[in-house]
Every structure is written in C-alpha cells, then in structure tokens.
Amino acid sequence: MQMNDLILVSVDDHVIEPANMWDAHLPAKYRAEAPKLVRKDDRTDVWAYQGLELPNVGLNAVAGRPPAEYGVDAQSFDDMRPGCYDHNARVRDMDANGVLGSLNFPSMSGFCGQLWAKHEDKTVAKALLVAYNDWHIDEWCGSHPGRFIPCALPALWDPEVCAEEMRRVAKKGCRAVTFSENPERLGYPSFHSDHWDPFWKACSDEGIVVCLHIGSSSQLVITAADAPINVMITLQPMNLVQASADLVWSRVLQKFPDLRFAMSEGGIGWIPYFLERADYVYKHHKAWTGIDLGGRLPSELFLERIITCFIDDEVRGRQPRSAQHGHDHVGV
C-alpha cells in the first residue's frame, strides 16, 4: 500500500474558538453574557467571562512549532498556526497531512461544556450551549461538508435538557457528543446512577457516540504536588482506564444496548491487561459481589460497545475496534 492510498480520520483534534464565533449564532439579548476575546498588555489573548480570564492552553495550539516551544502558557492568536482557529486553513493543513476527516473537541468551554454549566442562570447557560453547538456544527463543520465530524456539547446541569439538545443536534447530522469521563468529579451523579438515563436514551435513540476525553473530569492523575509534569503526562491514560472500569461494571451498557462510548486520547496499550483483569475479577468475585452482566464477560461488553483511538502505541494485543488517530493537537 502506498502512503497516498491511506485514508486517515483523526478522532481527537482540538479547535481554538475564533473571536467572532458568537456573531451569527447567539441572540442579541445574550451577547453581553458571552465570553469575549481580550488582548492583554503582555499581548496574550484570553477569553473574559464572568470575571474570569480563560487562556488558550498552549498544548492545544502547538501545531507547526518545534517541541522545545511546547508548553501550557497562554498564547496570542498571532503565535498560532491559522489552522488552529480558521476552518479553511484547517482543511488546507489536513490536505497537506493526509487527513480526510477530523473530530474537534472544544477548548474555551472545557472538554464537556463545564463552563456553561457553572452559570447561575440556566436560561443563559442553555443559550450559550445552543449557540456554541450551532457554531460548531453549522459554521466550523458545515463549511467543508465531509471533512469534519461534528461533536456537540451537553447540558451537564440537566439530563432532560441534555436529551433535548441531543435530539436537536441529531437533526443537524451530529452523531457525537463530548461528555465527562467521571461526572462525579464535576459534582454530578456518577455512571452508576440512573440520573443520566434521559441523556443516555437520547444518544442511544439517535445513534450518538458519547466521547470521553482525558481531562474531561477537570482532573488528571497526579501523584504529588511537586511531581514534574512528565508524571502527569505519563499517567493521563489512567483517566480512561478508570472510566472504562466504571462503564463495564455500571448498568449503562446493559440498560442501553445500542449506546456506544469512545475513549478519546487514551491510547490502546493498556487495554489487554485491563480486559484480562476485569474478566478475572468477574470470574473470581461474582459469587459474593452479586454482579450480573447478563451472561457476558466484561471484556465482551468492552469490545462490543467501546471505541478507542491511538497515536503511536506500539504495545498492542487483543484490541477493540480502534479509530486511526492522526494527532491530538490542533492544526494538523
């Protein structure tokens, strides 16, 4: 096979939202409530929102930069490759990189819309959520049909509102939503609660894949306050190991047999041991834990219902359906 014959679909890219994203999508009466892009005296660009300054995370916008310049410091748009925030430039970069399609996670709002959920006025929160999804689906993804995979934000604060929004975006052709890998860490019920059932049902009915991105619980695994950042980066996939354990032992996969989850940016090298361990726990402890998976092994549920992605994992074994992952940063 020749390189030019390959069709790559990157299922974990990121977008840096442009300053004009609200112009065509947020009703005028809510404009004052929307985040506004501000250039500071040090020439960095931040989003100003409810008294907060939200910087662009450097590692979300390092495409085209040498590794020595990677970092998590705030940047200005002048320092970024245009493909980070401009859909036309992004598609040109995708063409150059051999990437046919790309799913883009948000930056400014948090990986699963945590920012909107914090707003005290839920009418405003919903307006911002709907406007963001419309910008993402109609403008960012709609600008180049067939090149982007729309991925909506959920209404974390209310599963009924969340379900309603999923049915709305599904009519626009959106078949993915980004959600928290561990909602309890955000102050919401866990995967083991029936709290999210309206949301799960809407996603199941509409064929929407629920994407769980590392860090979408607003926390990453770290061992000590003074541990170097290399420790955190090394342990990042552990967030999705934890999420996978939650899912296979929860009631969600059994109650909603058509629902699919995607583990985003978590790699695949850990999966063989995880499946072996989960099956061992089931076989050796089900007599006293009382767990009932409907006659299925945890590994069978995982392989059938959970999609994974990878960048450069050389350690592989028995794997589920995996999507080819081009790169995990913007502008490739």
| Both structure tokens of 115 | 């920012």
Sequence-distant (6+) residues with CB within 8 A of 237 are 214, 266, 267, 269, 270
The answer to whether residue 68 sits within a structural domain is no
The answer to whether residue 96 sits within a structural domain is yes
The answer to whether residue 59 sits within a structural domain is no
Distance between CA atoms of residues 55 and 74, nearest Å: 5
The answer to whether residue 145 sits within a structural domain is yes
Distance between CA atoms of residues 191 and 188, nearest Å: 10
CA trace torsion 272, 297, 202, 27 (10° rounding): -20
How many structural domains does the chain have? 1
The answer to whether residue 50 sits within a structural domain is no
The pLDDT score that the predictor gives to residue 322 is 42
Helical spans, DSSP H, in the chain: 87-97, 114-117, 122-134, 159-171, 197-206, 229-235, 238-249, 252-255, 271-289, 298-305
Q: In 3D, which of 94, 97, 66 has the Cα closest to residue 79? A: 66
Distance between CA atoms of residues 34 and 125, nearest Å: 10
Q: In 3D, which of 178, 164, 241, 257 has the Cα closest to residue 210? A: 178
- What pTM does this model have? 0.91
∠ Cα 129 15 27 (to 5°): 30
The pLDDT score that the predictor gives to residue 139 is 97
Which residue type sits at 32?
A: A
CA trace torsion 174, 176, 178, 181 (10° rounding): 160
| pLDDT (tens place) for every residue of the chain, 332 residues total | 566 776 889 999 999 999 999 999 999 999 999 999 999 998 889 999 999 888 876 666 777 777 777 766 657 888 888 999 999 999 999 998 889 999 999 999 999 999 999 999 999 999 999 999 999 999 999 999 999 999 999 999 999 999 999 999 999 999 999 999 999 999 999 999 999 999 999 999 999 999 999 999 988 888 999 999 899 888 888 999 999 999 999 999 999 999 999 999 999 999 999 999 999 999 999 999 999 998 899 999 999 999 998 887 777 654 444 443 334 333 32
Instruction: Map tokens 């999705």 to a residue.
Output: 240
Question: What single DSSP character describes residue 316?
Answer: -
The answer to whether residue 43 sits within a structural domain is no
Provide the residue range defining the domain that includes 245.
3-13+88-324
Q: Residue 181 belongs to a domain with what CATH number?
A: 3.20.20.140
Tell me the CA end-to-end span of the chain in Å, nearest whole number.
22
The pLDDT score that the predictor gives to residue 316 is 64
The 10s digit of each residue's pLDDT in 189-215 is 999 999 999 999 999 999 999 999 999
The answer to whether residue 269 sits within a structural domain is yes
Q: Which residues of 259-270 are buried (b: 16+ CB within 10 A; e: fewer)?
A: bbbbbbbbbbbb
What's the Cα-to-Cα distance from 27 to each of 11, 33, 62, 134, 252, rounded to whole Å?
31, 11, 33, 12, 36
Side by side, the strands of the sheet bearing 52-55 are: 36-39, 45-49, 52-55
The pLDDT score that the predictor gives to residue 19 is 93
Sequence-distant (6+) residues with CB within 8 A of 233 are none
The answer to whether residue 35 sits within a structural domain is no
The pLDDT score that the predictor gives to residue 57 is 66
3-class state of residue 210 by DSSP: strand
Instruction: Map tokens 């695994």 to a residue.
Output: 221
Distance between CA atoms of residues 264 and 144, nearest Å: 23
